[in-house]
Structure 1
Amino acid sequence: MAKPTTVVLVPVWGLGHFKPMLEVGKRLLTRSGRRLTLTVVIMPAPTPNVASEIDAHMRAEEAADPDVRSVRVAFVAPPTDHTGPEEFVSRYVQAYASHVEAAVSELTCPVAAVVFDLFCTPLLDATRALGVPAYVYMITSAAMCALLLRAPGLHEEVEGEFEEEEEVDVPGLPPVPPSCLPSGLQNRKVPTYNWFVYTGRRYMETSGIIINTVAELEPRVLAAIADGRCTRGVRAPPVYTVGPVIPLTPHPAAAAATEEEEEEEEHECARWLDAQPPSSVVFLCFGGSGFFPAPQAHEIARALERSGHRFLCVLRGPPEPPSKTPTDGDLDALLPPGFLERTTGRGLVWPKRAPQKRILAHAAVGGFVTHCGWNSVLESLWHGVPMIPWPLGAEQHYNAFTLVAEMGAAVEMEVDRKRGNFVEAAELERAIRALMDGGEVERKVRERAVEIRDACRVAVEEGGSSCLSLQRLCEALVDGTARPKS
């Protein structure tokens, strides 16, 4: 009997990238009727705590499914002189290229394709040497894919810094203010900018682009990509919209190191939410890396107190080097004196990691103040919860712009990017009131969030747009119609 064909996944470290890629791989496996298997090539994370989390999660997945296996390559020392995370990832992946090529070439079963993370384009040389089709998996939006595909053209068309231009043209979107561009695109003088341009150029060499979005969520930008408007008339590779890719339930074999903590968090937060009226609570949470110093935390506290609305606020402390994971928040140091006493019964401040997906699913939650990481955006939209964007870095300002200007599922808030994304108490209070006070603004964004929720759920059902797109991708992989670009 012939050995089954495998799809090789090459994620980057960091659970926010790793889990969604593994999830889409598992969907491919199921959709193919087990005619495909998964092989995950693991490049060791640069920090030990992240590496241990990845290893624990991968071991659990392998134990649960014999068609999922992993190959670990030898550790390579990370670069120490970089100007941004995109440069860091791209250069670090480049150092792993020969190791990944060797790992794939040594597999004993046929390889249908290699799927790599969005800033892993240096690996294209390895897949080309092997004669294997390569796909890029975008954990971000179609709007971000359009911007990356557009970046080489913008580089040639725009003289000087983008911030000197009044607007940036990304086909399929309203004109983008330069202040909303990802941080790596704002300064041409640093190497990170060059990696953005390089990445967008090399996407054109792939056999396809897999995007964690829903066709009905971003129709105009997807049409612009398909029409070649983002790539100056040259047809882009086929796009597969397979989202929302959200691991909706934790794996039963989750790592013991975090299981008890997450259960306790769920118990404490859920018990408090159970006592609140429907859609009455504004939830504030800022991702796996988000934390604030005391001056900003004080502004948050004043806004919450003055808004009069119920709240659940996750407030973490700064990481302890070399880790980049926030520590448990010291609420005595972060909050104004007497704040917790004055808001007893109306609010809960949670100083540890929170079960975000479960909180967003709770009927008591009526709004979400979010850092606008794409995973968090999709989780909120999946549950029909409208948002207030508070971007902190990476592509989050761009996500915030598309949420407000294109999708209409969020209330805009002024975030001072030049002051480290600082938000005044009065501005946060205004945005919370606009979202939660029951006026016309709330009605519009809440209706839009519910429309998107319904579209997302239909998309992943049998016959839905994401289901059909995943089927097309499976057919290309199983039937061998996927071919490496020459």
Structure 2
Amino acid sequence: MATPTVVLLPVWGTGHLMSMLEAGKRLLRRRGRALSLTVLVMRPPTEQLASEVAGHISREEASGLDICFIQLPAVAPPVDHVGIEEFVSRFVLLHAPHVRAAISGLACPVAALVIDFFCTTLLDVSRELAVPAYVYFTSNAAMLALFLHLPVLHEEVTVEFEEMEGMVDVPGLPPVPPSSLPLPLMDKKNPNYTWFVYHGRRFMETDGIIVNTAAELEQRVIAAIADGRCTHGVRAPTIYPIGPVISFNPPTNQPHECVRWLGTQPPASVVLLCFGSGGFFTAPQAHEIARGLEHSGHRFLWVLRGPPVPGGRKPTDANLEELLPDGFLERTKDKGLVWPTIAPQKEILAHSAVGGFVTHGGWNSVLESLWFGVPMAPWPLYAEQHLNAFVLVAGMGVAVAMKVDRKRKNFVEAAELERVVKTLMGGGEEGWKAREKAMEMKAACRMAVEEGGSSYCALQRLSEELYKGAAVEVKK
């Protein structure tokens, strides 16, 4: 019999695409069950994104692993959307006939369809073809719990969340301030809110949910999901916490300039500021950061990106003369490095000179920080990052809280950044507790993915379930 294949359907964002691919490659490495991967590739809506995806695919095709990439026919993206959640959800739905045709045309047994969590509209395709369907959830179990509980909250909370008296109840989490919910949930009349509720409902139709977390990181919330507390007593699909799912590039012959600079700094003396693939600042906010760093007196490595070009979404390389205060680079040249383009975040976090991380709080960045035991100060900018920031501080204890003015587009004053950097790096009680907890999480993350660890065993259970699914004949 031909080797069964697992069909992956990612969305094109780097944090989604690469995480799902890495999870798929871990399935290929399971002993005792032969599986291949088939990746259905939706053409991204912009040429810049299409070029990035093509680069990722070229590198994966050169890896020699049993992965087949199938390019789906391009579709015209919707133009009347309100926000990114609505856009992605509707854009994905337009691919339904092409996904159906691609899966039906495969010559090998199909073990399962694994979809990104923005792709639940395509569960109808898996049902028509009688193919088991799983969601790959690139964020944490806390956000998954909110998704699953949102249909319940939609019925119970009749006002806007920010108009509530008190906190939002999400089983498994401490009481959540409404200000920590993702921005699309702040307006129930917004189509993005409607799509959040839609996806939360449809997760319940899947055969399982694969989550990029480790059981040890989020024990209470994983238990709450498994017990049905998030879904009004209805048992949720099986949860497979297989993380941290992190890809590591092979070492290069010549270390990156940022890494070489870190080699000249004392151990645990540098605070890293880096804000993901979508994080950027305008001059007023960059000036506040510069003043805060300078007044803190601590060493820093600041990855600073500039605003996108008109009509674009991706940050640009920073023009330091335009973004930084006069004389800042000269005054801080002995203590800091401002890097104006993309930097190798994992390699930087791995360096012994890094003692703290001011981060946007994207879940992939959080996992990288925990993997290396670096405490954080989350500065959420978009997506689910406000909830992540709350979880890191109140749920995990691995971070120092930062006052972010959400009404001013997540603005942070210089004095607040100065306070946070001093707390994170200076050895006060709050900073020390975060550091100790981050080191505990580092050990937990590494044990989870080792043979016999919780994530290793979850991946083994998933592999066995997927192999069973290959016995079902795909309907044509």
The alpha-carbon deviation at position 482 of structure 1 amounts to 9.2
Match for residue 179 of structure 2?
179
**Does 2:190 correspond to 1:201?**
no
Structure 1 483/363 Cα, relative in aligned 2: closer, same or farther at 3 Å?
A: farther
Counterparts of 1:147 and 1:263, CA distance in 2: 44
Distance 1:60 1:326, change over 3 A: same
Aligned to 2:231: 231
- How far does residue 160 in structure 1 lie from its aligned partner after superposition? 1.3
Tell me how far 1:32 sits from its aligned partner. Answer: 4.7
Contact 1:7-1:36 within 8 A present in 2 as well: yes
Give the 5 Å matches for 1:249-264.
Answer: 249=249
CA contact (8 A) 1:384 1:453 kept: yes
Which consecutive segments of 4 or more residues in structure 1 shift more than 4 A? 481-484
Task: Determine if contact 1:204/1:236 at 8 Å carries over to the other structure.
Answer: yes
Query: How big is each residue's C-alpha offset from its partner over 1:211-234, in whole Å with a ceiling of 9 and x where there is no partner?
Result: 000000000000000100000000
Question: Secondary structure, in 3 states, of the residue corresponding to 2:248?
Answer: coil
- Residues 44, 75 of structure 1: 8 Å contact kept: yes
TM-score (ref. length: structure 2): 0.97
CA displacement at 1:442 relative to structure 2: 1.5
Query: 1:16: which partner in 2?
Result: 15
Whether the 8 Å CA contact 1:133–1:482 is kept in 2: the answer is no
Change (3 A) 1:301 1:240: same
- Give the aligned partner of residue 412 of structure 2: 423
Q: 1:127 to 1:459 in 2, by over 3 A?
A: same
Tell me by how many angstroms 1:481 deviates: 8.6
Residue aligning to 1:333: 322
Q: TM-score, normalised to structure 1's length?
A: 0.95
Q: Mapping of 1:118-133 within 5 angstroms?
A: 118-133=117-132
* Cα distance, 1:81 vs structure 2: 2.0
Cα distance in structure 1, aligned partners of 2:310 and 2:30: 42
Instruction: Give the C-alpha shift of residue 322 in structure 1.
Output: 4.4
Q: Give the structure 1 partner of residue 374 of structure 2.
A: 385
Quote the residue 2:461 is aligned against: 472
Q: How far has the Cα of 1:109 moved from its partner?
A: 0.6
Structure 1 residue identity aligned to 2:453? G
Q: Displacement of 1:12 after TM fit?
A: 0.1
SS across alignment from 2:247: coil
**Displacement of 1:286 after TM fit?**
0.4
Letter in 2 for 1:283: L
Q: Give the aligned residue type for 2:81.
A: H
Aligned counterpart, 1:255: none
Are the aligned partners of 2:5 and 2:36 in contact in 1 as well (CA < 8 Å)?
yes
* 3-state SS, counterpart of residue 64 of structure 1: coil
How many angstroms does 1:483 deviate by?
8.0
Distance 1:469 1:115 in 2: 16
Q: Give the C-alpha shift of residue 292 in structure 1.
A: 0.5
SS of the counterpart of 1:230? helix
1:395 maps onto 2:394 in alignment: no
Structure 1 residue ranges without an equivalent (≥5): 253-261
CA distance in structure 2 between the aligned counterparts of 1:416 and 1:33, rounded to whole angstroms: 52
1:204 counterpart SS class? helix
CA distance in structure 2 between the aligned counterparts of 1:468 and 1:295, rounded to whole angstroms: 49
Equivalent residue, structure 1, for 2:84: 85
1:37 Cα offset (Å): 0.1
Matched, 1:370 2:359: yes
Aligned-partner residue type, residue 161 of structure 2: F
Give the AA of the match of 1:464.
G
Say whether the 8 Å CA contact 2:112–2:469 is kept in structure 1.
no
What is the DSSP-based 3-state SS (H/G/I as helix, E as strand, rest coil) of the residue aligned with 2:62?
Answer: helix
Residues 1:278 and 2:267 aligned together: yes
Percent of aligned pairs with the same residue?
65
Shift of 1:443: 1.2
Tell me the SS of whatever aligns to 1:239: strand
Q: How much has 1:119 moved relative to structure 2?
A: 1.0
Say if 1:207 and 1:483, in contact at 8 Å, map to a contact too: no
Aligned CA distance change for structure 1 residues 476 and 301 (closer, same or farther; 3 Å): same
The reply on whether 1:168 has 2:168 as its aligned counterpart is yes
Superposed displacement of residue 63, structure 1? 2.6
- Give the distance between the partners of 1:60 and 1:359, measured in 2 at CA: 22
Q: In 1, Cα distance between the equivalents of 2:376 and 2:200? A: 29
The corresponding residue for 2:338 is 349
Number of paired residues?
A: 472
Q: Distance in 1 between matches of 2:429 and 2:65?
A: 53
Per-residue CA deviations over 1:42-73 (Å, capped at 9, x if unaligned) read: 00111112112212221221232251111111
> Where does residue 348 of structure 2 map in the other structure?
359
* Corresponding letter in the other structure for 1:237: P
What does residue 192 of structure 2 align with?
192
**How far apart are residue 369 of structure 1 and its match?**
0.3
CA contact (8 A) 1:32 1:474 kept: no
Between the aligned partners of 1:421 and 1:483, the Cα distance in structure 2 is 49
1:128 is paired with a residue of what secondary structure? helix
Gaps of 5+ in 2: none
Q: How far apart are 1:475 and its partner, in Å?
A: 0.6
After superposition, residues 263-302 of structure 1 pair within 5 angstroms as 266-302=255-291
